A and B are shown apart, each in its own frame.
Chain A
Amino acid sequence: MLYREAGQFKTSYGSDQAIFPIRQDQIGIALLLLVAVLGVPALAGEYWLETIFVPFLVFSLAAIGLNLLTGYCGQLSLGTGGFMACGAFFAYKLTTAFPELHVLVVFLLAGVGSAAVGVFFGIPSLRIKGFYLAVATLAAQFFLVWMFNKFDWWTNYSPSGVISAPPREVLPGIFLTGTEATPITKYLFLLGLVAVLALVAKNLTRGAIGRSWMAIRDMDIAAEIIGIRPLWAKLSAFAISSFFIGIAGALWAFVYTGSVEALAFQIDRSFQVLFMVIIGGLGSILGSFLGAAFIVLLPILLNNVPAAIGLQMSVEMVSHLEFMIFGALIIFFLIVEPHGLARLWQIGKEKLRLWPFPY
């Protein structure tokens, strides 16, 4: 009843093509952002900010990046961990070489660097497809991690190969990294950056470039015949996807953990992000957020539940239960809705529009 668009008339092309054409959605997203900006920092404690929201936002960004490539352009990639490592190490080298550079600029430049690497490793996609391309991107994954681990130059000759984010200010006197950084600064910075980048991603997918990606995804020969250049479409998908993933990697190293070694970006990380995209929904920006929430937050929630409801259980029991329930839930959601959580959300919205008189 509440969710009905009767009486909302679209009188211009602009309003017809809005990201959220229905007023209830606009109000909803505005409320969500308001809660995220004002409510969460006020209500959530340090634990929630540092270990729940920060990694969730970082992974959402990585998932958006992979979703652009795999979900929208149909190019299966297993190199996400490697591209995240690129972002992290590029940002580290940049900020240690040019300490006066603003941290946001450093992140964006690290993203640009990762995009260049992504384009390079995307070249095989012009000839090979599907699983074969996945194997080619796997080479990127192993090569990049090996390179950052092998050559000391990347870590400024640290004896252990670990990079550690130097303290950097986001505004004068307000530190984003280092010991003086507060969880609220980290959270708000990430929230702003991820929101802006998500908006960019959403608009890219709605524009000409996104449509050319989707045309390539759906049938590349047909796309070529109607005049889309596969070279341009595929490489731009690799570049933009790696840009997002690179920034996510830099944020992971700088804002979340603070110090990181190349091994943190191993193949597991690539799979983790790929699963987020698959469970969240291929070809959906919202799905990237839902998938990241599912993969990052649910295990932590499951791990906390027994203690929170007062069950006395040994930690290994809790841990085993967490694995079992998490695995079962993945299968459950994939059976109920193979197109991901984003599709479930869409179905829910459609049901809501008809409620309470479904036909």
Chain B
Amino acid sequence: MQLRKLAFAAVGALVIGGTAATPPASAAEQFVPLLVYRTGPYAPNGIPLADGFNDFMQLVNERDGGVNGVKLAWEECETQYNNDRGVECYERLKAQGATGSSVVNPYSTGITYALIERATADKVPVLSMGYGRADASDGRVFPYVFTLPITYWAGADVMVQYANEKEGGSLKGKKIALVYHDSAYGKEPIATLERLAEEEGFQFQAFPVAHPGLEQKATWLQIGRQLRPDWVFMWGWGVMNSTAIKEAAAVGYPMDRFVGIWWSGAEADVVPAGDAAKGYKSLNITGVGTNAPIFEDIKKLHADGKGLADPKNIGTVLYNRALVNSFYFTEALRTAQGKFGEKPMSGEQIQWGFENLDITQDKIDSAGMTGLLSPVKLSCADHEGGGSAVVQQWDGAKWAAITDFISPRRAALRPAYEASAAQYAKEKGITPRDCS
């Protein structure tokens, strides 16, 4: 009986303590919430991403003493790549720190969709780097959403450009197939590819793959035996990627004509496919490898015992992507501090920082990130910033870039963003901001 009472008391104390305790907030720190997925079905992608964020922010604090003396503080929250938990994490962390959440990087198209309205209402910028809504590049309708450096629609354009170049300058009469995850994410490129098919005269066919994408035999028999396309593009995620590579190899589809989007081109996507993946290509929005000077600093950080990442993740595709993502954020913070003073910035001020962000090649070089990213310049209306993507190839052991940064043809994309954003604005009753 005594024991039982004790147990009840302990549980009670736990519950009461759980509701009463609030984490301490330091006045001079800039708080960054980290929505991570270190567990669940997409953990192989989530872990290097989370590691990259941790290492970069630790490096900024340890090496530079923060951004203009303002140290970065952050807390991880596990979403398991689950939309409900993503919303919960966002709400849990948004009021922490001196100025609340200053930016949110959802790293999931679903969570991004769920957060666009909330974050806009709370004045917290959403940095969806290479995912989320492509039409959010129109800053007049989506003031708090940033899609830099490049969107899925632009990615589709880069793929077509690459195929065009490999085919000697014309895609007329060629066949291109798209294998896509049957979800909001996978459907993004279809409209762009259909438009390009009409303009460039290639035949386009799309093949949906049901979530999670373990069953693709019929799809690939159709592609490899019946349609026999000249190029296959893929919008896959998680286990779908390695399955597709294995099935493509099984029907004898040539790997060097198989190009994935940047979420189908990490180590976790190709290693499980083994030798079959050799020669497979994908886009990437960041450079690959550990050649950039910043990796010297990261190695030093780890040598001093202050690194937070698992050392084997350093230099992997997604780790590098997180480095670039954090760099965009610290630069936006720096830009905002240039106007509002060297103190922690609120979400509203950082939104200004993003809209006036101008990352030149000089800034990239002086940050030691040469080759990891291409210059971007944002404005009130343009939240994509004119970034670009490279094509990389897997040689069986590592990824290597095989092209320079390729710029999408935005002259045709921009009207598409604006048309789609205008439809959203109409449905939502939003009056677009005046950016002139």
B110→A264 contact, CB < 8 A = yes
Q: Which residues of A contact B187 (CB under 8 A)?
A: 159-161
The stretch of B15-23, B250-258, B395-403 in contact with A is B15-23
Q: Which residues of B contact A164 (CB under 8 A)?
A: 113, 117, 424, 427-428
A318→B429 contact, CB < 8 A = no
Binding site for B on A (CB under 8 A): 45-47, 50-51, 55, 96, 149, 156, 159-162, 164, 166-167, 178-180, 256-259, 261, 263-264, 266, 300-301, 303-305, 307-310, 314-316, 318-320
Distance between Cα atoms of A188 and B18 in the complex (Å): 25
The yes or no answer to B183 lying at the interface (CB within 8 A) is: yes
Q: A149-B182, A179-B117 are in contact. Are A316 and B39 (CB under 8 A)?
A: yes
The yes or no answer to B292 lying at the interface (CB within 8 A) is: no
Q: Which residues of B contact A156 (CB under 8 A)?
A: 427
User: Which residue in B39, B109, B191 is a CB contact (below 8 Å) of A319?
Assistant: B39
19 contacts between A and B (CB under 8 A): A46-B95, A47-B91, A50-B87, A50-B91, A156-B427, A159-B188, A160-B109, A160-B184, A257-B83, A261-B110, A261-B184, A264-B83, A301-B15, A308-B19, A309-B18, A309-B21, A315-B36, A315-B76, A316-B43
Q: A96-B427, A162-B184, A315-B78 are in contact. Are A51 and B18 (CB under 8 A)?
A: no
- Chain A residue with the shortest CB-CB distance to B110: A261
Residue from the set A55, A180, A263 with the largest chain B CB neighbour count within 10 Å: A263
* Smallest beta-carbon distance A248→chain B, Å: 14
Which residues in chain B, 97-116, are within 8 Å of chain A measured between CB atoms?
109-110, 113-114, 116
Distance between Cα atoms of A123 and B83 in the complex (Å): 34
- 7 tightest CB-CB pairs across the interface, nearest first? A316-B38, A308-B18, A160-B184, A315-B78, A179-B121, A51-B88, A319-B39
Distance between Cα atoms of A146 and B394 in the complex (Å): 34
Distance between Cα atoms of A123 and B160 in the complex (Å): 50
Q: Which residues of B contact A303 (CB under 8 A)?
A: 78
The yes or no answer to B211 lying at the interface (CB within 8 A) is: yes
Q: Which residues of B contact A315 (CB under 8 A)?
A: 36, 38, 76-78
- Chain B residue with the shortest CB-CB distance to A181: B121
Distance between Cα atoms of A300 and B78 in the complex (Å): 11
A161→B78 contact, CB < 8 A = no
B interface size (C-beta, 8 A): 48
Q: What's the A-B contact tally at a CB cutoff of 8 Å?
A: 110
Q: Which residues of B contact A316 (CB under 8 A)?
A: 38-39, 43, 78
Residue from the set A257, A300, A320 with the largest chain B CB neighbour count within 10 Å: A257
The yes or no answer to B14 lying at the interface (CB within 8 A) is: yes
Q: Which residues of A contact B121 (CB under 8 A)?
A: 179-180
Distance between Cα atoms of A287 and B63 in the complex (Å): 56
Distance between Cα atoms of A164 and B133 in the complex (Å): 12
Q: Which residues of B contact A263 (CB under 8 A)?
A: 110, 183-184, 211
Distance between Cα atoms of A305 and B18 in the complex (Å): 6
Distance between Cα atoms of A162 and B43 in the complex (Å): 25
- Chain B residue with the shortest CB-CB distance to A44: B19
Q: Which residues of A contact B185 (CB under 8 A)?
A: 160
Distance between Cα atoms of A95 and B83 in the complex (Å): 24
B18→A167 contact, CB < 8 A = no
Q: Which residues of A contact B88 (CB under 8 A)?
A: 51, 300
Q: Which residues of A contact B23 (CB under 8 A)?
A: 307
Distance between Cα atoms of A266 and B212 in the complex (Å): 11
Q: A164-B424, A166-B429, A308-B17 are in contact. Are A258 and B117 (CB under 8 A)?
A: yes
Distance between Cα atoms of A316 and B79 in the complex (Å): 10
Q: Which residues of B contact A167 (CB under 8 A)?
A: 428-429
Chain B 389-433 interface mask (CB, 8 Å, partner A; 1/0): 000000000000000000000000000000010001001110000
The yes or no answer to B84 lying at the interface (CB within 8 A) is: yes
* Smallest beta-carbon distance B183→chain A, Å: 5
Q: Which residues of A contact B17 (CB under 8 A)?
A: 308-309
Distance between Cα atoms of A89 and B135 in the complex (Å): 22
A308→B21 contact, CB < 8 A = yes
Q: Which residues of A contact B183 (CB under 8 A)?
A: 149, 161, 261, 263
- Chain B residue with the shortest CB-CB distance to A296: B84
The yes or no answer to B120 lying at the interface (CB within 8 A) is: yes
* Smallest beta-carbon distance A272→chain B, Å: 10
New contact pairs (7) apart from A45-B95, A179-B117, A303-B78, CB-CB < 8 Å: A50-B87, A156-B427, A159-B135, A261-B113, A301-B15, A308-B17, A315-B38
